[in-house]
Structure 1
Amino acid sequence: MNTDEYRNDWSARAPRPATRAAAPRPETPARAPRRSRRRVIVAVLLVVLLFPLVFGGWLWFHADAAIHRIDAFPDYPGRPAAGAGTNWLIVGSDSREGLDPETAEQLHVGDADGQRTDTILIAHLPDNSTAPTLVSIPRDSQVPIPGHGRDLINAAFAIGGPHLLARTVEQATGLRIDHYAEIGFGGFAQMVDAVGGVEMCLDQQMHDDKTGQTLPAGCQELDGAQALTFVRMRYSSATPRSDLDRVANQRRFIGALASEASSFGTLVNPFATYQLADAGASALTMLESDGLGDLLSLAWAMRGISSGEVVTTTVPVTDSSAHQWHKQRASELFDALSTDAPVPEDVILR
């Protein structure tokens, strides 16, 4: 074996030095999970920010479409000219339309046919810094009804609906009515239930001799049926002035309801907001020219009733029967409203 062959044979059999294993590279931190977390966070933020806008926009159009509309009030010879501020005619109708017998029984409203007005209010929203004013017109006020002689003012609604009632109110007060809002029994009760009830504090027990319903003394949450009993009650020892006490209770409750509806807890709760808007809109009647913006302005102003920021009064009358208006004091009241002047303290009837 020559030298070259020996070297090759030795090289093939000689053990080779161990190869050093390459050190493992440190793992690169996973970026995908971090990106996923960022995307989730961004998506959540977008939902949180956009949901109120999308929900609010949808609810606005939904509510606006659900409102019942009537034609604008027609002009007529001698109609009062527009004065300062804005005047709303607010009507609580006792129509049972749309109420099934079971619901009517739960609300204790009976089964009378047709429609009348349990509530007639003028809400005046001034253009200046004068406080808004909410004026009750007793339903038994005897006034001239155009084309129908002298009668109780709620007969105007029964005879000719919103148009005749508005004309009757305009001619009796000298105020031009700019906006109109009407709600029935069922819608009122549903709105109260939608906000989870409204707290009222009663100085004494209220028992309605006509319906047999009783509201205990003390502070309590009134549900829709109980609230309807409260604002309609006038045959009770707790309402010795009959309709005058009833309209005062109506104004008081409207303020409490407006405050509850505009509270933070209601506005941030989409379910409560939807139920309130849906119940109110479906039971509400407005003029074709009126929009939700007008209605919200009214509701926002009326929330000041509970805090005393709204002047509340009844048209001055000569006695507790509320049949006859006190001409001089009533004239002073309506003159103040037509000019956005403060209502004189001596004409305020609570």
Structure 2
Amino acid sequence: MTAPSSAVDTPLENSVTLRFLASPTDLGHSGSVDAGTVLEWVDKAAYAAAVGWAKTYCVTAYVGNIHFADPVVVGDLVEVEATIVHTGTSSMHIRTVVSSGSVSGDDGGKRSECLVIFVAVGPDGKPVPVPAFEPRTDAERLDSDHAVARIAVRKDIVEEMRRQEYTDAGTAERTVLRFLAAPTDVNWGGKVHGGTVMDWIDEAAYVCSTRYCGLDTVAVFSGGVRFLKPLRIGDVVEVEARLVYTGHKGMHVAVHVRSGSPRSREMDLTTTCLTVMVARDDEGTAVPVPPWAPRSEEDRRLHEHARNLLLIRSRAPGSVLPTHLRPGSGGNE
């Protein structure tokens, strides 16, 4: 006798695809959709996939190895596909791909891809177990193996970034944005949306890099986006971006997000990131930037830190770093 439908175990869906039009309000300083907005889309799609799998509230823990290819244009039909490829005890590793093209479908293509890690939490905010993901196809096994292989690389990146200190002894270009976290920044858990934080990071990196080179800049890579603590609505937020390394065309910008109550002067570090920006001419072509020469001991340490991150990322299995991320002779890329 066939069991009632309510008693049948329905396999969990490990993939979610969001489809929408890039609207005029998505237009950024670059003349197309900025990287920060794309990262907001990524976070929302990955959140939907995570909650659908875990059946509980989930929080963003890490976003890594994000390469931005061709830009998304206002009016494009956008697809953001988020697929769970590996699970830990309470974590879900989610491969997220952003594609876009004209509504007619003639010029579509992949615009960015990254791995997002969400953690399932219970009502008390503590991690809770999630169902194990078991790959069923060769493609799923390949994606799962790739995610597992990146775990050791990610640990090295996190440790390398954790050991760094940023003080006033640094002499490089630096930008600090300050504002209040607004009610419109809220996520489904009542805190600031992780995608919104990544948008702030992109804005700060843009200002820092543009002031340094005097040209329009755009993000081509973000990595090591680690969410340490949640930001509360109404908090004072500081987003500090500092130049730490330059290549031929790329500017590596370390970004730190801090927040705290307006009733206190205490600020907690909530998010860290390393973003690579490139300068563009009036036609949108990447152009060389002035080389930055470290002057203080802190400058030299952070310069070496940026190179170490390049080397760590190059060890990722199957990793093919674009030219602007490859360490070359003489300290340039």
TM-score under structure 2 normalisation?
0.25
More strand by share: 2
TM-score under structure 1 normalisation?
0.24
With a CA cutoff of 8 Å and minimum separation of 6, indicate the structure with the bigger relative contact order.
1
More helix by share: 1
Higher radius of gyration, 1 or 2: 1
